[in-house]
Structure 1
């Protein structure tokens, strides 16, 4: 058995027996989840004040941002989490100096360019994407309020120097962001679609990028 196959089998076996430490849910996800659709931008037209409309639009977009499919790769530490309860990654991974994982055991060791099914395991599949990696430390979201995440997302000193136009392109076309809606067997996707999410982000930015809280 190759080293890669062994690690994949180990991860599946441990996950199957549930030998994990729970982190609990993220407040934003717990409060805003419910329903498989996102509201359209037009649903906020009735809010007269531009600032309040902008905040409401971001709160709707946050149903994606704070969903486990996204938040697991924006951990509070340099160690990713897994699952709906956002438990510690199995096996334990600590990416100190690189978003691609520790030297000798980078993310691509187990995560291939696409989702891979696992037969006979509770895990059902190993997620995969050609760009699989952690978000940079400056974009850690776990444990933050929606207002804090909002300010972080638009802060060019923390978001990879992305302008408003860059953010719209990233949210709407990035392949790894899009993976969230195609996460493989055993993982529910966030509400809506990448296109609807990008439209909300666009409208939020165009109305002043106001932040809740």
Structure 2
């Protein structure tokens, strides 16, 4: 089977499995409070933890957990169903040699099938799997350089606030519910969290 034929068959399968396209996008996935909303919390550590709790509305949304799965198989859609067709993480997070993410998730996706895209579409590293974890567990994990790709807490500001693949979560297209708030609002929360000691909620 040629790669082009395989891609066409996968796109057809996705079109049959996904909800009908062409409908209006779902309403926004909620809002995020600005850092100023937490000014009344006098204790800096408690305020820092509150910033992360607010940010966790994004991190625990399907737009994030689907790509931070507990297994080597991604999930998809608002219901977080297992990815169809069956695909797996692979050694670099971009799929197995027989079925790479880029075969379907091209730079701009494939709109007839409602398939999203990005030049660097991939799963988060297995060390950053947080599907099913508590907010505190995610917080401890996300700021641990041994698990987060060697990033400092300050590096997370740019990763969450500027990375274009992360930014897809707020403009997912089709009938997917966007992550709460905006990427800019999430960046403000990460920055406030980092600047107040990056405390984790209990």
TM-score > 0.5, shorter chain as reference: yes
**Alpha-carbon contact 1:35-1:191 (below 8 Å) kept:** yes
- Measured on the aligned residues, the alpha-carbon RMSD in Å equals 1.7
Distance 1:91 1:10 in 2: 7
Q: Which of 77, 92, 109 pairs up with 2:71?
A: 77
Report how far residue 16 of structure 1 moved: 5.0
Q: Secondary structure at the match of 1:180?
A: helix
Q: Which residue of 2 aligns with 1:31?
A: none
Aligned counterpart for 2:94 among listed residues 91, 95, 100: 100
* Aligned-pair CA distance for 1:172: 1.1
Alignment partner, residue 195 of structure 2: 206
Q: CA deviation at 1:104?
A: 1.9
The alignment's TM-score, normalised by the length of structure 2, stands at 0.90
How many angstroms apart in 1 are the aligned matches of 2:106 and 2:90?
Answer: 21
- Cα distance, 1:165 vs. partner? 2.2
- RCO (CA 8 Å, sep 6+): is it higher in 1 or 2? 2
Correspondence for 1:9 among 5, 8, 12: 12
Residue number among 148, 156, 161 corresponding to 1:159 in the alignment: 148
Determine helix, strand or coil for the equivalent of 2:54: helix
Instruction: Report how far residue 164 of structure 1 moved.
Output: 2.0
Which of 120, 124, 140 does residue 129 from structure 2 map onto?
140
Distance in structure 2 (CA, Å) of the matches to 1:70 and 1:85: 13
| Rounded Cα–Cα distance in structure 2 between residues aligned with 1:65 and 1:53 | 18
Structure 1 counterpart of 2:163, from 174, 178, 197: 174
Pick from 34, 37, 54 the counterpart of residue 43 of structure 1. Answer: 37
Q: CA deviation at 1:96?
A: 3.6
CA distance, structure 2, for counterparts of residue 35 and residue 143 of structure 1: 19
Distance 1:15 1:116 in 2: 13
2:181 aligned with 1:187, yes or no? Answer: no
Name stretches of at least 5 consecutive residues in structure 2 with no aligned partner.
Answer: 21-27
Q: How many residue pairs get matched?
A: 192
Q: TM-score, normalised by structure 1?
A: 0.86
